[in-house]
Amino acid sequence: MSDAIVFIALQTNDDMRPVIEAIEADNPHATVNHYPAMVKIDAPGRLEIRRASVEERIGRPWDVQELQLGLISLAGNIDETEDQFVLGVVSENGK
């Protein structure tokens, strides 16, 4: 795993709290920083947001694109599918 940091910053509201909880649970290597009205989550190399983890917490189907509703900022290369949203770092050799 790369030492380069990726991050996501999300609004702290009722819709995003379960998403934040899911990110924390699925990424034990991440550092969560709480600020007024937002949470910034930093991780070395990779940060995953899994649809199934969010759905467990909210009790309904969740579209990964709903993440955009509470998104403030992010850093990293994005890989988005129906099942997850991943922020990662591409190394110099492209992997």
Q: What is the CATH number of the domain that holds 71?
A: 3.90.56.10
pLDDT at site 91: 64
Q: Is 90 a member of any domain?
A: no
Number of residues that make up the chain: 95
Question: 87: which strand partners?
Answer: 47, 78
Strands 38-44 and 46-50: unpaired
User: Are the CB atoms for 20 and 57 separated by under 8 Å?
Assistant: no
Reported as a single tens digit per residue, the pLDDT across 18-73 is 999 999 999 999 999 999 999 999 999 999 999 999 999 999 999 999 999 999 99
What backbone phi and psi angles, to 5 degrees, belong to 32?
-105, 125
Q: Quick one: pLDDT at residue 90?
A: 72
**Domain range holding 20?**
5-81
For residue 55 the two structure tokens come to: 């759905």
Residue 86 lies in a domain: no
User: Does the pLDDT of residue 2 top 80, yes or no?
Assistant: no
The pTM of this model reads 0.89
Compute and round to an integer the Cα radius of gyration of the chain. 13
Rounded distance, CA 78 to CA 55, Å? 21
